[in-house]
Amino acid sequence: MPPVPETDTGVLSASGLPDSLRYTGNIMAGKKTLETTYKNAGWRFVMPAALFIFVLSFYPMVQAFFLSLQSGLANNLHFSGLRNYIRLFQDEKFLAAVRNVFIYLVFQVPVMLFLALILASILNDKKLKCKGLFRTMVFLPCATALVSSALIFKSIFALDGLANTWLMGLGILAEPKNWLQDPVWARIIIILTVTWRWTGYNTVFFLAGLQNIETSVYEAARIDGASPSQSFFKITLPLLKPVILLTAIMSTNGTLQLFDEVQNITAGGPGNETLTISQYIYRLSFVYNPQFGYAAAVSYTILIMVAILAFVQIKIGDKA
Amino acid sequence: MKTKGEITTVSLEYIFLVVVCLLSVFPFYWMLVAATNESSEIMRGKLTIGTYLISNIKTMLSTVRMGRAFWNSLRTTVCGTVLSIFVCSLAGYGFQIYRDKQKDMLMNVLLLSMMIPFASVMVPLFKMFSTVHLLDSTLGFILPSVSTAFLILFFRQNSMSFPLETIQAARVDGLNEFQIYARVYVPIMAPTFAAAAIVTFMGTWNSYMWPLIVMQSQKMQTLPLLVTGLTAGYTTDYGLLMLCVSIMTLPTVLLFFTQQKHFVEGVVGSVK
Amino acid sequence: MEDFDNITWDRFLELGRIVKAKTGKALVSYVGNEPDCIMIMLQSAGTWMFDEKGKPNLANNDVLKKIVTIYAQMIKEGICLTVTDWNAYIGSINSGTVASAVNGCWLVGSISAVKEQAGDWAIVNTPRLSNVKNAVNYSNLGGSSWMVMANSKNSGVAMDFLNKTFAGSKELYNTILPSSGAIGTWGPAADSDAYNKPVPFFGNEKIYTKIVGYSKNIPQVKYGVFNYEARDAVGVAMTKIIAGANIDTALKEAQKNVEFQMGY
């Protein structure tokens, strides 16, 4: 007697055969076992990574939320409800940091993405020579550590640095300019550093997106008489929408959390003119008398801003 | 015969490209040249290769624990990258090949983690790791970044083009699910793994904030921590500093140089 | 050097103008956002950013207003150079971009690092505020302190240790001065050999004896727990004032800022 599969109900049906051997029941029962096996396997594949994220990202985030409901110095924390969040609006430093971060956002992200798009288009040209070399050089800045690029740019724009030496030599400047002590120029230099560092990264994404577009589409457009700019705006851009959205969200996320570059170039100065929210959190935790509860509340504002902006960008993406 | 307009466009493209590449590469050039010069010369704007390389190397060998930091970086980065690729590729494979509604929901939840700012979790993570005595250790270094939604997503997207028939055939051959992953999926998806490895390696090698918090003792310092420490003294020896920064940057640059074809292939696959 | 000894800040500015006219160089430099100079001046006048009750004393502090005016004037006239960070500060001293440095005695180590300048430097006391009562030519900035926590487990043992070493051992100070350049503020240390040695870099003057002598005259002030927050606020106010903001407004904002940080 052949072994009876576990899914049998153990009862013989009217035809005298166990469930597993009846025609209609057989295939279904067998499939169910396999399906379950596969389903379980699928979950086993997925669980380790998911667990890591739950334990090491979501759980600390929840802890941070409870922390944000407390006030006090160092370990002397007491419950204070939403007080930290209300205080935020009177905090001159926090408001300055938000203003700075939005300035960076508005100027740096579009410029960088636009630049990356143009670069990717050029690099995608089949007739381009030395493509590999150009591509490597464009991506090279991404291989540097953020602190390295910050240190290099700081040295170049120092009072006795390269920029001043050159500009004076060319006669454009009469005396060395204190770039990093000027609020406007300090921000420009930071935007410059961040753009230099990340354009290559976004270029690779756009390049990948462009390579997924079949050339036949462009051929058809050309035959129809479309000019290069027309085919760019009417064909390329819409097809690249998912990639543009992805890079926009990633860049926004990165800029809202900007820390390394600003910390190492201007440390937030002059005054509060280049301070970022992440820097303020760092100071609240490790520089001033530690106010971990308040710092946690400030960090949640970043989360809220990231979420809102991501939502807005997705909605714009849907409409466009 | 190219039209005048086409020639102009192409020349403009080349000029633009060359300018961008010069701007991209210049800071590297400056960094490498500075490593061969003496500190005060660098401050005065010297751009040519100098004769101080040997001297800077001697200073480095006698005052900076470069070898130890390099080994710390290498050890933590390799372990972190291998573990991360393994865990996230398993998940990406699982999310795509065994796709169902619940898994899609889980994926969306995990994607939310990409929005979590590091500043929020750094203090709770620090307290957590302190409690389990994992501070100042390789494991403490790599654990928080082992699993990222980005990498899982990367593998999932790339797995969309993986033929299910191959899996069916393997099942018929008697392989269990994990064997299919290990012996069929991994070899076929090599470019994806290469791309993921490069990105993860570079990110881990260069990471600064979490190592700053978790690596407490000098003997566990990784290269970024060591290098920024060099600027914290009373005077900065720029020649020495740039020599160390060059050494720190070299592995990631070499990696990208040699693997860029795979890298682009991998990214192409994920963007589909 | 005598021109610079026991002078007022007004005289300092006058001398600075002469130096600038003759050499085109600034007389002194400071890190852009750090209010080091202001701290030095504050303590030399016997006041601080907090009053005796520990409340912030920035908005209605006449001494602070006078100080801030002098500092802004120095920068405006190019007598004081502002640099981006600490390395640039040391660089400006070492490379001769500025002619002097007004700072804590621990700067001696950095100044002495440039061998070519040996013999060109001398030590004098700090300029004093001319229009403030009780202002002296002495102040304090930075340095390290040892603190025993009142509720620590073996505070008695710790205090005893400190009493026998940093508060009781001439030999300790004698050793750490030549080996680490550590200058102590313990009176009796001045009698030790190391402190009485002439220092070639400074023209064979017995600088350490001089410094310890100065330290007897430093006015004592209470820093308070929120010192760093107040420093930060004053630094921000200073940056605004240099950029042209009204002094009263900037200081009022600074006070509000510190009160905010303290009002957790």
Residues C90, C191 share a domain: no
pLDDT digits (tens, 9 = 90+) for B82-131: 999 999 999 999 998 888 898 989 998 998 888 888 888 888 898 899 89
In this structure, the answer to whether residues C239 and C202 fall within a common structural domain is no
Q: Is residue B6 part of a domain?
A: no
pLDDT attached to residue A5: 46
Point out the residue among A49, A243, A282 whose CB comes nearest to the CB of B271: A243
Query: Is C147 within the bounds of a domain?
Result: no
CATH number at residue C124: 3.40.190.10
Residue C149 inside a domain? The answer is no
**Do residues C202 and C231 share a domain?**
no
C240 and C207, same structural domain?
no
Same domain, C182 and C256: no
Whether B84 is covered by a domain: the verdict is yes
Amino acid at C25: K
- pLDDT mean over A225-249: 82
Q: Which residues of A touch C25 (CB under 8 A)?
A: none
The pLDDT of C117-136, averaged and rounded, is 82
pLDDT score, position A8 = 46
Choose the mutation target among A78, A86, A159 for the interface with C, i.e. most C CBs under 10 Å: A159
Considering the domain architecture, whether residues C27 and C120 belong to the same structural domain is answered as yes
Residue C230: inside a domain: yes
- pLDDT above 60 (res A20): no
Kindly provide the residue ranges of all beta strands, DSSP E only, lying in chain B, ordered along the sequence. none
| Residue A169 predicted with pLDDT over 60 | yes
Kindly determine whether residue A271 and residue C91, on different chains, have CB atoms separated by under 8 Å.
Answer: no
pLDDT confidence bin for A13, thresholds 50/70/90: very low
Domain that holds residue B92: 65-271
Judge contact between B240 and B59, C-beta under 8 A: yes
Does residue B230 lie within any of the structural domains? yes
Q: Which domain holds residue C167?
A: 155-215
Q: Which two tokens stand for residue A45?
A: 């594949």
User: Rounded to an integer, what distance in angstroms lies between the CA atom of residue C239 and that of residue A268?
Assistant: 12
Helix (H, G, I), strand (E, B) or coil at B119: helix
Say yes or no for a CB contact (<8 Å) between B24 and A138. Answer: yes
Whether C145 is in a domain gets the answer: no
**Is C19 among the domain residues?**
yes
Go through C33-58 and write b for each residue having 16 or more CB atoms within 10 A of its CB, e for each that does not.
bbbbbbbbbbbbbbbbbbeeeeebbb
What is the mean predicted confidence (pLDDT) over C52-61? 86
Residue A28: pLDDT band by 50, 70, 90 thresholds? low
Q: Are residues C172 and C109 located together in one domain of the fold?
A: no
Residue-level pLDDT at A21: 47
Q: Which of A70, A94, A280, A289 to mutate to test the interface with C (most CBs of C within 10 A)?
A: A289
The larger pLDDT score, comparing residue A6 to residue B261, is at B261
C182 shares its domain with C104 = no
Q: Are B250 and B166 in contact (CB under 8 A)?
A: no
- Name the β-bridge partners of C43: none
Q: Which pLDDT band, with edges at 50, 70 and 90, does C129 fall under?
A: confident
Chain B residues with CB under 8 Å of C109 CB are 234
What is the ipTM for the molecules in this complex?
0.85
What number is the average pLDDT over the span B12-24?
A: 86
Q: Is C90 on the interface with B (CB under 8 A)?
A: yes
Q: Closest chain B residue to A294 measured between Cα atoms? A: B120
- Cβ distance A270 to C239 less than 8 Å, yes or no, reads yes
Residues with Cβ within 8 Å of A166's Cβ and at least 6 positions away in sequence, in order, are B45
Same domain? For C103 and C172 the reply is: no
* Partner-chain contact A269 C253, CB within 8 Å: no
B21 domain-assigned? no
In a domain, B55, yes or no: no
Identify the pLDDT of residue A1: 45
What domains sit in chain A, N to C, each tagged with a CATH number?
1-56 (no CATH), 87-319 (1.10.3720.10)
**Where do runs of H (alpha helix) occur along chain A?**
23-53, 59-68, 83-87, 92-124, 131-139, 146-156, 162-169, 183-211, 215-223, 228-231, 237-256, 260-265, 277-286, 292-319
Position A49 scores a pLDDT of: 93
Residues C167, C54, single domain; the answer is no
Question: Confidence band (pLDDT; 50, 70, 90) for C59?
Answer: confident
In a domain, B262, yes or no: yes
B250: how many CB neighbours lie within 10 A of its CB? 12
Identify whether B185 is part of a domain: yes
The mean per-residue pLDDT over the stretch A142-153 comes to 79
Q: Which residues of A lie inside 8 Å of C (Cβ-Cβ)?
A: 71-73, 87, 90-93, 154, 158-160, 178, 180-181, 183, 266-273, 287-289, 291, 293-294
Number of domains in chain C: 2
Taking CA atoms, what residue in C is nearest to B43? C91
Residue B14 lies in a domain: no
Number of domains making up chain B: 1
Query: Are C97 and C226 in the same domain?
Result: yes
Provide the pLDDT for residue A22.
Answer: 45
CATH number at residue B240: 1.10.3720.10
Is residue C163 domain-shared with residue C251, that is, in the same domain?
A: no
User: pLDDT > 90: what percent of chain C?
Assistant: 3
Residue C171 lies in a domain: yes
